[in-house]
Structure 1
Amino acid sequence: MSSRDTPAVFGSPALDSAFCGVSAGIVSTICMQPLDLLKVQLQVSTAPKTHGTLGQIWWGLGEIVRQGGYAGLYRGLTPNLVGNASSWGFYFLWYTMIKARMDGGEEKKLNAGQHLLASASSGVITAVITNPIWVVKTRMFTTRADETKAYRGVLNGLATLAREEGVRGMSKGMTLALIGVSNGAIQFMTYEELKKRRVDLRRKRLGAGASEEEVKRLSNTEYILMSGSAKLVAIGITYPYQVIRSRIQYRPVSAASSTPPYTSIPDVITRTYRSEGLSGFYKGIATNA
């Protein structure tokens, strides 16, 4: 039985994929929240590095706990959950629908270019829809709950953002988000290519007598290795955009810094390179989840 013939739990393969994406987004976000929080704080920090890679992580997490207790590690969890769950849900929904449209409803292989187009198109739609949530997340991640003007939660953040900054504020970093679509596109294209090559190798090894279901039955270890390898490739290529985006969306709430430190993408790139060099564009990469 092909995957196209397998009964859909929620009425269609696209909705099944969306549900899986939402579930995966929730679980991974809860597990990786402290590291994600630290990553954003490191990305917006212009202070020179004072510890080694592992030392920086332990020191950073300890500093968060000292300032806000263990609850401080989960500051901004709600927008992070909403953002990741909705992003992966929308992404898989559109990705599955676009791929189904491309293959005309028939089970057939898509080439790397088609996978890239489906992934990029899904990412663009998702990035536009979810961008305001990521602005709120960045600002909650870079402020303490007891600070003046700090967002109290995702709804308060969205309302305040819309009221004080309007569409311009809600779309901060959207251009970079669209550029960052290449991260997901590269990751999924690489993953699909690795999976296709692995299946082809199994087909040759098992011979003509093997069923298609048996040929495509890969182990959990193989899926983990392919997924991890694809993500490493994508991160290495596209990580700098995350740093630039975080710095664009960041807004200090202290009285001493009443205006955003960066005014535009070129401003971020110029000042970051001038004061921190190329390494400044890879701040926090060790904590990248």
Structure 2
Amino acid sequence: MSESNALANGLAGAGGGIIAQIITYPLQTVNTRQQTERTLKRNKQSLLLQSSNTTTTSAPGTLLQILHVIGSEGWGGLYSGLKPSLLGTAASQVINFNVIQGLGIYYYFYQIFKNKAVAIAAARKLKGHGDGTVGMFGWLVVAAIAGSLNVLLTNPIWVLVTRMQTHTQAERKIMEEKKEALRMAASESSLAGSILREKLAELDSKKPRPYGTIHAANEVYSEAGIVGFWKGVIPALIMVCNPSIQFMIYESSLKRLRARSSKKQGNVTALEVFLLGALAKLGATVSTYPLLVVKSRLQAKQEIGASNSLRYSGTFDAILKMIRYEGLPGFYKGMSTKIVQSVFAASVLFMIKEELVKVFISLADKSKKVVSNLRN
């Protein structure tokens, strides 16, 4: 496959990714808030923390959360962080990487390493080894290399997206803590009722609203400096196996489907690609979801869990504290929402990507013919 096909895949991946992102973004916002919500295990230790107002109640269902966000924050609340998220999607698929011909980080490198893997398989066949096709392990390696490059270069964008999606949630927690502190101060120092009511009314009047990208960037930098933009990069790098599993299932299934279609003298339809994309993403999401929750917890504003027991210094600290205070269910918070969002988004992405690749390649072939005719 030529390098022009890598360009076609990069551009097509960007188009499909951006459209899928816009359609499913409200579900993504709600899912991030579900992941970062703390619900402690019901034991003596959690009851002690509940008495100090450091725990949270169980999150409502996805639909109820969507309606709640619309009611309290407007439609803008569901689309908090959309701009950097679209940039992140474009960066993952079609960013200008040091102006290397405007090609995409993930799909470009995926296509390049895929071409190399195919060439190696063909060379091995000539030497009498293998059948000339790339095996499942080969697809895993190809997707892992492309995914690692993508994660390292785009993690700062996703830190900002997570901050913007969970900002109002974090601010609401902070306000509740301030109110509780006022009530405790009133009980200890006999603070006048009118003064207490005045201060509480002042806090009630401050409704948290989504903030912008620059605000989020300044907040991250003020908290942890440049390093803060790479919070959650370790689980994100481990999660490279997510697209690896996804593309392994997709490529292997697509190869079998194309072989079956060629025998019937037919082409793979857009619906079939849609269903393959859904199946591939479902398998990848279920197997790697706990890492996604850990990543979101690290990237979100730590005030969501004001207690030291709910504040994380790193990946392993987050994993140990989640096991200790929330149990295994904590690693699967919001998974049903994520499955619906990611499977639908992946299906749309693959379907649009395959169709756009056909269009781009067709246009490229036509342009080559035109140039050839002009030369002749």
TM-score normalised over the length of structure 1 = 0.82
Residues 134-186 of structure 1: per-residue CA shift (max 9 Å, x gap)? 11111111113995998843344335434542232111111111001000000
In structure 1, the gaps of 5 or more residues are 6-10
Indicate whether 1:186 and 2:245 are aligned: yes
Secondary structure at the residue paired with 1:47?
coil
Q: 1:47 to 1:67 in 2, by over 3 A?
A: farther
Query: Counterpart of 1:222 in structure 2: which amino acid?
Result: E
1:85-142 deviation line (CA, Å, top 9, x unaligned): 2113321111011112333399863222221111110000000000011111111111
Compute the displacement of 1:47 (Å).
3.1
2:147 aligns with 123
2:326 corresponds in structure 1 to 276
Task: Kindly indicate whether the alpha-carbon contact (under 8 Å) linking 2:76 and 2:210 is maintained by their aligned counterparts in 1.
Answer: no
Contact 1:75–1:145 (8 Å) recurs in 2: no
Is the contact between residue 39 and residue 330 of structure 2 (CA under 8 Å) also seen in structure 1?
no
- Name which of structure 1's ranges 244-253 and 160-169 shifts more when overlaid on structure 2: 160-169
Cα deviation, 1:68-101, whole Å, max 9, x if unaligned, reads 1122111111121111221133211110111123
CA deviations over 1:248-288 (Å, ceiling 9, x no partner) = 1111468x949882122222222222333222111111111
CA distance 1:150–1:135, change in 2 (3 Å)? farther
Q: Is the 8 A contact 1:145 1:151 kept in 2?
A: no
- 1:223 alignment partner, one of 273, 285, 308: 273
When residues 106 and 26 of structure 1 are mapped into structure 2, their CA distance, relative to the original with a 3 A threshold, is same
Q: Distance in 2 between matches of 1:238 and 1:116?
A: 15
Q: TM-score, structure 2 length as denominator?
A: 0.64
Which residue pairs with 1:40 in the alignment? 32
Is 2:158 the counterpart of 1:112? no
User: Following the alignment from structure 2 to structure 1, what is the Cα–Cα distance between the partners of residues 278 and 256?
Assistant: 16
Query: Given residue 174 of structure 1, which amino acid in structure 2 is its aligned partner?
Result: V
8 Å Cα contact 1:251/1:261 also seen in 2: no
> 1:8: which partner in 2?
none
Equivalent residue for 2:6?
14
- AA in 1 matched with 2:237: L
Cα distance in 2 between the residues matched to 1:129 and 1:162:
17
Q: Aligned partner of 2:6: which letter?
A: A
Cα gap change, 1:109 to 1:12, in 2 (>3 Å): same
Corresponding residue number in structure 2 for 1:176: 235
Query: 2:111 is matched with which residue?
Result: 96
CA contact (8 A) 2:80 2:210 kept: no
Unaligned 5+ residue runs, structure 2?
41-56, 95-104, 123-131, 175-207, 342-376
Please give the alpha-carbon distance, in whole angstroms, between the structure 2 residues aligned to 1:20 and 1:198.
21
Letter in 2 for 1:279: P
More helix by share: 2
1: CA distance between counterparts of 2:327 and 2:93? 33
* Equivalent in 234, 248, 254 of residue 195 of structure 1: 254
CA deviation profile, 1:212-251 (whole Å, cap 9, x unmatched): xx4xx21222111111111111111101000011111111
Q: Secondary structure at the match of 2:313?
A: coil
User: Which of 248, 256, 268 matches 2:298?
Assistant: 248
**Identity over aligned pairs, percent:** 31
Corresponding position of 1:31: 23
CA distance in 1, matches of 2:88, 2:332: 23
| CA distance in structure 2 between the aligned counterparts of 1:69 and 1:202, rounded to whole angstroms | 48
Runs of 4+ in 1 over 6 A off after TM superposition: 105-108, 148-151
1:132 is aligned to 2:156: yes
Give the structure, 1 or 2, with the largest relative contact order (CA under 8 Å, sep 6 or more): 2
In structure 2, which of residues 67, 71, 89 is the aligned counterpart of residue 84 of structure 1? 89
Give the secondary-structure state (helix, strand or coil) at the position aligned to 1:82: helix
3-state DSSP of counterpart to 1:109: coil
Alpha-carbon spacing, 1:43–1:145, altered in 2? closer, same or farther (3 Å): closer
The whole-number CA distance in structure 2 between the counterparts of 1:146 and 1:41 is 10
